[in-house]
Structure 1
Amino acid sequence: MANKKETMYDNVMKQYNKVADYMDLDPNIRKILAVTNNEIIIHFPVRMDNGDVEIFTGYRVQHNNALGPYKGGLRYHADVDVEAAKALAIWMTWKTSLAGLPYGGAKGGIQLDPRKYSITELERITRRFTYALGENIGAEHDIPAPDVNTNAQTMAWIADTYMSTKSPSERSKHQHVVTGKPVGSGGLEGRDRATGFGVYLTIRLYHESRGESLKGKTFIVQGFGNVGYWASKFLEADGAKLIAVQDAHATIHDEAGFSVEDLFEHSKPRKNSIAGFADDKEIDPKQFFGLECDILIPAALGNQITEENAADVKAPLIAEGANGPTTDAAEKILLENGVTIIPDILCNSGGVIGSYFEWLQNRNGELWQLDEIMIRLEKKLTGVFKKVENEVKERQTDWRTAAYVLAIYRIEMAYKQRGIFP
């Protein structure tokens, strides 16, 4: 009988149980954090452009809200299911806790390939899903945000649909039901680059702590969507060189380097696909993780670096721009080989910190300028990075374990101080 393929949920639970053992987590709190609070599955009909009705399945998993409202993205992808949403929701709980935000963790999405639908169909799908979710989301209850294959436009549709279910006098109170909205609809200036900036900043801080600069460093990126592009843009501006990119359609490599902006301009009208940019530089996708470089940034989907390819990795540093890109078995191999991994809950937390700023801005009726936002973001991320770095040094452990200990300890303290109802 063939071995069952390890899922993201298997991975997150292995990570959790390992750290719970390591930190001797209170057994009662361990039970609470091992399960999700709510798992919502919705089947809903939508009329297509040709008049036919198609049935879609949407998910929203709410893991824990001990520290505040549930927070997490909505993704549109063929691989979305309840198990993936559970894993991603748990990671969001750790991420928001580590960042010191007043949030819990949630995640969800719709099981579909958005490339197969027109913009008008995607709007109807989004609005119908929002209506079906009803009071399962809310500005003080559960606040969605963009994720894989969703964007500011998606969030604008959700906000408009949700607010339309409220009385006219109440609508303004619900604008922050989602974050990641267009700037003209209450969004935060700079939210588009927040996650990629966080990836870049943690890489820069890591090198600075070792007395190094990014000038002359080479990096490779898996996924050239919003996160991969902005991380690359900031790294290139600091003197690093992008030498390879991989997405679902192509893998390109050139030791002379690629222009980040040229690649972006090529991919933008092709829904972030790099295919056709450098046909003469294409390589076998299986060679990607084994390329010689200084920094590897997985910024696509989960479970990409596995037991099968971990030994191929040549980069001494992995910065996890995606959620859960490295399996537990792969991490063991990487750590044994001396590879440092900046974990996702630290590395890509710039996005949720930016979301928090937007939520505050809407809630308080304020309007922040881009330069002010980026200063706040850098200050917040730097503080979190330093805390994790100190934990690594004090405990003589790896970065993921250190980050998890800090994240879970904060939630443990909240439960101990408040008690368990009743």
Structure 2
Amino acid sequence: MATTQKPRRVGMYENVKNQFEKAAAVMGLDESVRKILSITNNEIVVHFPVKMDNGQVEVFTGYRVQHNNALGPYKGGLRYHPTVDIDAARALATWMTWKTSLAGLPYGGGKGGIQLDPKKYSQGELERITRRFTYALGDNIGPEHDIPAPDVNTNAQMMAWIADTYMSTKSPSERSKNQHVVTGKPVGSGGLEGRDRATGFGVVVTLESWAKLNGTSLEGKKYIVQGFGNVGYWAAHFMHKNGAILIGVQDATGTIYNPEGIDPEALLRYQSDNATITGYKGTQDYPSEDFFGIDCDVIIPAALGNQITEDNANTVKAKVVAEGANGPIDTEGEAILLANGVQMIPDILCNSGGVIGSYFEWLQNRNGEIWTMDDVIVKLRKKLEDAFNKVINTSVQYQTDWRTAAYIQALTRIEMAYKQRGIFP
């Protein structure tokens, strides 16, 4: 008997290309610029050996994809995760080009990382892996060329190791000029106050703007968060300050639910002590596959890509999905949400607080300044609210959805740069 073959799942890079092509067609993007932006500039793959604590040598594969630098140096994170491959790096690097352009930053887009599960390695091993990866990348990164930052499973400490390793390869007189080779460093090592919360804060600023646009506020709104790492926690922290009620959380360890509300600060303490969110007092375990169907007002996916798909999009009851992660909704899932009237704050707008914060840190290091938390929060809010309003205005102008509008806004700025400068030679 013949069987019906399930449609092939679209990959992240294919999603990005689909989104790009849709926006390019709607806006009538210059054909030459369209060709340039449809491919990456450089794709770096490095294989490097590292000695483990037991004396054995492991060989790791690292990636750095540089998509476009028409507006300035490549900018984007490094992630340590088993799903890191060239397809994921291409997708994430391309998203960074759109994200930095939309935010009005003097950057292009890059992304990369190492294919590994960091939980399987000691702190000493992770330091050696990070330093050896930095050395292998060599001058493919640099403070005026390509500036990495933290991403999934990487943190401020790792950025400090990268900065130290990179600076160590320079002559003594040049070392101090290279501190801004990475952003997201610890405050004591040139980092920015508030950089840790910038992405989560940005998610909530865009949700505040969404609420204002819809004549309401976040007070009393029920929401769920997928991923309770840096982005998910800080988003929950600032949602709590707005009077919103967290009712569901999902991460790699499980899914918890309490319709009466979950205290994000207490949950963070529990997670820190137990390395899991499951079992937190007052909550019940919830079927992970039904998570996005929880009856709520707001969904914040802040984990990995391709989480809301054609398999579960019809279960979504929320009024809005705020993309704290990159690409959490695939093309088919998005079409279903749009048809069902669910609003989506696209990733290149919603989670751009992180790269805006990185820009502030880069400026701070470059100019020898020290910025306060108050400086950072005020400047972040202004940039995010400006970007949100531009997306809404573009959406009205082109009579299109918010994601396509965000892309059009980003692409217009890059198109102008190419038209003004011309193509060498």
TM-score band (shorter)?
Answer: over 0.9
Question: 2:301–2:323: 8 Å Cα contact kept in structure 1?
Answer: yes
Secondary structure of the corresponding residue to residue 170 of structure 1: helix
- Are residue 222 (structure 1) and residue 226 (structure 2) matched? yes
Among all aligned residue pairs of Structure 1 and Structure 2, give the percentage whose two residues are the same amino acid: 68
Q: Deviations over 1:218-238 (max 9, x none)?
A: 000000000000000001111
Q: Deviations over 1:20-39 (max 9, x none)?
A: 11111111111100000000
- Are residue 240 (structure 1) and residue 244 (structure 2) matched? yes
Secondary structure of the corresponding residue to residue 237 of structure 2: helix
What residue in structure 1 maps to residue 195 of structure 2? 191
* Equivalent of 2:166 in 140, 162, 167: 162
Runs of 4+ in 1 over 3 A off after TM superposition: 1-4
What residue in structure 1 maps to residue 344 of structure 2? 341
Q: Which runs of 5+ in 1 are unaligned?
A: none
Q: Give aligned pairs, total.
A: 421
CA distance in 2, matches of 1:185, 1:11: 37
What residue in structure 1 maps to residue 35 of structure 2? 31
What residue in structure 1 maps to residue 322 of structure 2? 319
CA distance in 1, matches of 2:236, 2:419: 42
Give how far 1:205 is off. 1.0
| RMSD (Å) for aligned C-alpha atoms | 1.1
Matched residue type, 1:147: D
- Are residue 205 (structure 1) and residue 209 (structure 2) matched? yes
What residue in structure 2 maps to residue 409 of structure 1? 412
What residue in structure 2 maps to residue 357 of structure 1? 360
CA separation of 1:191/1:270 partners in 2, compared to 1, >3 Å: closer, same or farther? farther
Secondary structure of the corresponding residue to residue 173 of structure 2: coil
Give how far 1:268 is off. 2.5
Give how far 1:382 is off. 1.1
Matched residue type, 2:374: D
Matched residue type, 2:298: I
What residue in structure 2 maps to residue 148 of structure 1? 152
Secondary structure of the corresponding residue to residue 109 of structure 1: strand
Matched residue type, 1:399: W
Question: 1:130–1:161: 8 Å Cα contact kept in structure 2?
Answer: yes
Give how far 1:72 is off. 0.1
- Are residue 309 (structure 1) and residue 309 (structure 2) matched? no
CA separation of 1:23/1:207 partners in 2, compared to 1, >3 Å: closer, same or farther? same
Secondary structure of the corresponding residue to residue 245 of structure 1: strand
CA distance in 1, matches of 2:66, 2:209: 32
* Equivalent of 2:291 in 288, 293, 296: 288
Question: What TM-score, normalized to structure 2?
Answer: 0.97
Give how far 1:389 is off. 1.5
CA distance in 1, matches of 2:299, 2:63: 31
What residue in structure 2 maps to residue 131 of structure 1? 135
What residue in structure 2 maps to residue 373 of structure 1? 376
* Equivalent of 2:256 in 252, 255, 266: 252
Q: Which runs of 5+ in 2 are unaligned?
A: none
CA distance in 2, matches of 1:35, 1:269: 45
What residue in structure 2 maps to residue 390 of structure 1? 393
Secondary structure of the corresponding residue to residue 169 of structure 1: helix
* Equivalent of 2:20 in 16, 28, 47: 16
Matched residue type, 1:340: Q
What residue in structure 2 maps to residue 419 of structure 1? 422
Secondary structure of the corresponding residue to residue 380 of structure 2: helix
